[in-house]
Amino acid sequence: MHPQSPSFVQIPAAKRWFDICVVLLLLLVGIPFVSILFVWMLLERAVSAKARVPFFYKEVRVSGGKKFLFYKFRIFRKGVIEAAQERGAVVHTKPLEKYPENLTLYGRCLKNIYMDEFPQLWNVLKGDMTLVGPRPTNIESSAALCKQGIYTRERIRCGLTGPFQAQKGGDADQHAVDAAYIDFVQSHSGMAVVCKDIGILVDTVKTIFRAEGI
Q: What is the pLDDT of residues 48-62, one digit of tens each?
A: 999 999 999 999 999
pLDDT confidence bin for 103, thresholds 50/70/90: very high
Residue 97 gets the label, from left (phi > 0), alpha (psi -120 to 50) or beta, of: alpha
Calculate the average pLDDT of the chain: 90
Mean pLDDT of 30-47: 94
Give residue 2's pLDDT: 39
Percent of the chain with pLDDT over 70: 93
Q: Is the pLDDT of residue 172 over 80?
A: no
Residue 1 has pLDDT above 80, yes or no: no
- pLDDT value for 213: 47
Q: In the predicted model, what is the mean pLDDT of residues 117-132?
A: 96
pLDDT value for 114 = 80
pLDDT for 127 equals 96
**Lowest mean pLDDT, pick from 42-56, 84-98, 190-204:** 84-98
pLDDT 10s digits, 128-139: 999 999 999 999
Is 206 a residue whose pLDDT tops 80? Answer: yes
Can you give the pLDDT at residue 112? Answer: 83
